[in-house]
Chains A and B, each alone.
Chain A
């Protein structure tokens, strides 16, 4: 493998530096590095970050290859600057055995656009009745450490307790989709002023908050670690903040869309805005940004949820829930967190690479940009501004809420262990 010299990049947003990649690792970081025998990438004031890591991606393979495959999903990830994604277990069949997780893991390795770390189901078939073979999935070639019934809540308190206890044996974490099922029967959108007017079934904040409150207490009681998926309300932030102050081992994620969009958009009845948990209010959005900035919320995760056109081109009630997010995540974070002064680029690297890798135990990712580290890197043209055009997405699905919306920032290059997966905005 040849040497690559990234010249004049603002590493983590700092002063321009040169970064020399040799093979799979970063050989040198400094100023005025020699370009002899290298392929030069003129970074010209662009920001260089460690490759992004997404702890919450839906790749749909196996089972719904019409929405996304491991190949199209990892190409979308590389386009968005990601070098590792954690693939959720709600596939068909469900990723609840060593066989399924190994298949997904291997596909990721074969395609080579992005490391795919499968997430294992907590319960068999996501049915909440019986623990899946968590140990076997951990011991498989996929080395699963994150377990989640995402899409569904592990709502049975005893089941949740057992899962939390069980994964302690191998340092696993249970990632909870916090949604009290009885309180959200028939739920279509955030319960509040807008749902009252539109006559759409309400998804109350308390349905999320009550589960989070219960789970942090369970985690404390059994001395385990719990991760909260796509936290979406101001009340949830307060509970997590309280739990952390008490020393409970809880981490939490927020999606880009919950940092930017509100339930006012549902007035359009356009199902592109239908997502679970639902878009909340302005007050929630501001609380989430604040919490991501102060570290109460640890990471940004996309909840990339591809759906084919026909599942969204219909009336609201019949539409599937979810949005694609891999290719717009960094832009939305720049818009909501960097442009607002809440985070600097080092902070973005922390929330979108370092911490998610740490929570998921992806040891080769989220590393410092320094000599000797794996060359998982992302180069961002932060001065760019342009409107989102889903026609250019690498994802097989186009269900983005940002179509036609102007957002800042564009990932121009992505390197996975020294191999370019994205060059000048084009996939290799």
Chain B
């Protein structure tokens, strides 16, 4: 494992499988009466959020607290980042405070990379979403969810997603989730198809390790998982598509379309879901939809990442049990 987690593309297959396996161990902690491990006691982790995201921040915070880390939340929303000085200044303040890891969410693509490589700070940097670039822990939790559902909880250990066919639908252009998933799923051996109107696919996508289709209906029957991305309504005003209704008709997932998917196939969504446009309530509430599991899995994945980045050399579970027996 590298010292930082900036991009899903930085993970090798073995790194990724190790994280998924470790997360499986971490998930067991959630089933216990006391959901806490002493692993990161005495370590300080800062959640540095320049962009609002309650869900992601709470997920990281839960993971950090379950590992007994000291947690500092820093929300820079509202502070001026227009001159760009605040990232460096904040980083140096945190450095002075002896922080061990920084979980950063930033509106500018590349900000976590800059933080990790500019020499402003010595701590491990974990990207919790940067602009339209990457959101690697999201991709990891998605892969974790897929492996559990498509391979099996215990059968999945040590396994990747070879041969699975994953369809990602929606606003690929503005989606760090799509970018991260394409990278990670490819590394894990899955075949990815992106489906979107051509206006929401980036120029240059032909070099990505995936297929691109403009037609959702033709991909459904051969998908093991269909991941719906959030489409922001303001895209409509920027003429990315004509109307919400037309988008829904061509790229929305409703009961009829879900019925065309194979029996075992699942429906995923990074949340928060806007019911109606990209996904109907019927689909969102069906037991094939993994949104709630994804949230729970997010905590396990983030525990695994923090544990491994902050020096977890021994298998998490052995460590866990020894400390527990004391």
Residues of chain A having any CB pair with chain B under 8 Å: 188, 191-200, 202, 204, 268-270, 310-311, 313-319
Docked Cα-Cα span, A202 to B132, in Å, equals: 12
Q: With A191-B204, A315-B106, A317-B109 as given contacts, are A200 and B84 in contact (CB-CB < 8 Å)?
A: no
Check B202 for interface membership: any CB of A closer than 8 A. Answer: yes
24 of the cross-chain contacts (CB-CB < 8 Å) are: A192-B203, A194-B204, A195-B204, A196-B203, A196-B205, A197-B179, A199-B132, A200-B110, A200-B133, A204-B203, A269-B110, A269-B114, A310-B83, A315-B108, A315-B110, A315-B111, A316-B108, A316-B114, A317-B84, A317-B109, A317-B111, A318-B81, A318-B83, A318-B84
Known: A199-B131, A199-B134. A314 touches B87 (CB 8 A): yes
Q: Please determine whether B109 and A198 come into contact, CB atoms closer than 8 angstroms.
A: yes
CB of B113 within 8 Å of the partner chain: yes
Determine the distance from Cα of A315 to Cα of B89 in the docked complex, in whole angstroms.
12
Q: Is the CB of A315 within 8 A of B133?
A: no
**Residues of B in contact, count (CB < 8 Å):** 32
CB of B204 within 8 A of CB of A192, answer yes
For A204, the chain B residues whose CB sits under 8 A away are 203
Q: Does B2 count as interface, using CB distance less than 8 angstroms?
A: no
The residues of B that contact A310 with a CB separation of less than 8 Å are 83, 85
The reply on B313 being an interface residue by CB < 8 A is no
Does B176 sit at the interface, judged by CB under 8 A? yes
Least CB distance, A133 to chain B, in whole angstroms:
33
Q: Which residues of B contact A318 (CB under 8 A)?
A: 81-84, 87, 108
Q: Are A313 and B109 interface neighbours, CB within 8 A?
A: no
Q: Mark each residue of chain B from 123 to 142: 1 if its CB lies under 8 Å from any CB of chain A, else 0.
A: 00000001111100000000
With A193-B204, A193-B207, A318-B87 known, 4 other A-B pairs at CB within 8 A are A199-B133, A199-B179, A269-B109, A317-B84
Q: Which of B182-215 contact A (CB under 8 A)?
A: 202-208
Chain B nearest CB, measured from A144 CB (Å):
33
Instruction: Give B48 Cβ to nearest chain A Cβ, in Å.
Output: 12
Q: Does B88 contact A (CB under 8 A)?
A: yes
Which listed residue, A191, A193, A311, A316, touches B110 by the CB 8 Å rule?
A316
Contact A314/B204 with A198-B110, A199-B176, A269-B110 known, Cβ cut-off 8 Å? no
Of the listed residues A197, A311, A315, A317, the one surrounded by the most CB atoms of chain B closer than 10 A to its CB is A315
Contacts of A196 in B (CB 8 A): 202-205, 207-208
Most buried by A among B110, B118, B130: B110
Chain A residues with CB under 8 A of B204: 191-197
Q: Give the shortest distance, in Å, between A201 (CB) and chain B (any CB).
A: 8
Interface residues of B (CB under 8 A from A): 81-85, 87-88, 106-111, 113-115, 117-118, 130-134, 176, 179, 202-208
Least distance between A42 CB and chain B CB atoms (Å): 44
Interface pair B109/A202, CB less than 8 Å apart? no
Residues of chain A within 8 A of B132, CB atoms compared: 199-200
Please provide the 6 A-B residue pairs with the shortest distance between their CB atoms, ordered closest to farther. A318-B84, A314-B84, A317-B108, A196-B204, A199-B133, A269-B110
Distance between B91 CB and nearest chain A CB, rounded to angstroms: 10
Bound-state CA distance A396–B47 (Å) is 37
B10 to chain A, nearest CB (A): 12
Q: Which residue of chain B lies nearest to A315 when distances are taken between CB atoms in the complex?
A: B111
With A269-B113, A315-B110 known as contacts, the answer to whether A202 contacts B203 (CB < 8 A) is yes
Closest to B120 in A: A313
Most chain B Cβ neighbours within 10 Å, of A270, A310, A313, A318: A318
Cβ–Cβ < 8 Å partners of B107 in chain A: 317
Q: Which residues of B contact A192 (CB under 8 A)?
A: 203-204
Contacts of B115 in A (CB 8 A): 315
Taking CB atoms, residues of chain B closer than 8 Å to A270 are 114
Taking each of B130, B176, B202, which has the highest tally of chain A beta carbons within 10 Å of its own beta carbon?
A: B202
In angstroms, Cα B115 to Cα A192, docked, is 25
Q: How far is the CA of A416 from the CA of B214 in the complex (A)?
A: 63
Could you tell me the distance in whole angstroms from the C-beta of B64 to the nearest C-beta in chain A?
Answer: 24
Which residues of chain A have C-beta atoms less than 8 A from B108's C-beta?
315-318
Name the B residues within 8 Å of A314 (CB-CB). 83-85, 87-88, 114
Which residues of the other chain, A, contact B203 by a CB distance below 8 angstroms? 191-192, 195-196, 202, 204
**Alpha-carbon distance between A269 and B84 when the two chains are bound, in angstroms:** 14
Inter-chain CA distance A270–B81, complex, in Å, is 17
Please indicate the chain A residues that have their CB under 8 angstroms from the CB of B83 in the complex. 310-311, 314, 318
Nearest chain A CB to B174's CB is how many angstroms away?
A: 9
Least CB distance from B130 to A in Å reads 7
Q: Which single residue of chain B is at the shortest CB-CB distance from A195?
A: B204
B134 cross-chain contacts in A, Cβ below 8 A: 199
Q: Return the chain B residue nearest A266 by Cβ.
A: B110
CA distance A330 to B78 in the complex (A): 45
Q: Which of B108, B176, B206 has the most CB of A within 10 A?
A: B108
B69 to chain A, nearest CB (A): 26
- Given A193-B207, A198-B109, is A319 in contact with B202 using a C-beta cutoff of 8 Å? no
In the bound assembly, the distance between CA atoms of A192 and B202 in angstroms comes to 8
B202: nearest chain-A partner, CB-CB? A196
Instruction: Considering the complex, give the chain B residue whose CB is closest to the CB of A205.
Output: B203
Chain A residues with CB under 8 A of B131: 199-200, 317
Whole-angstrom distance between the Cβ of B82 and the nearest chain A Cβ: 7
* Beta-carbon contact of B205 and A198 below 8 Å: no
Taken together as a complex, chains A and B put the C-alpha atoms of A197 and B176 apart, in Å, by 10
- CA gap between A270 and B111 in the complex, in Å: 10
Kindly state the separation between the CA atoms of A313 and B92 in the bound complex, as whole angstroms.
Answer: 13
Q: Once the chains are docked, how many angstroms separate the CA of A313 from the CA of B133?
A: 20
CA distance A318 to B85 in the complex (A): 8
CB contacts (< 8 Å) of B179 on chain A: these are 197, 199
**B115 nearest CB across to chain A (Å):** 8
A198–B81 CA distance with the chains assembled, in angstroms: 20
Which B residue's beta carbon lies closest to that of A191? B203
A198 to B111, CA, bound (A): 11
The residue on A at minimum CB distance from B182 is A197
User: How far apart are B81's CB and chain A's nearest CB, in angstroms?
Assistant: 6
Measured CA separation A314–B130 after assembly (Å): 14
With A193-B204, A193-B207, A316-B114 in contact, is A199–B84 under 8 Å at CB?
Answer: no
Q: How far is the CB of A268 from chain B (nearest CB, A)?
A: 8
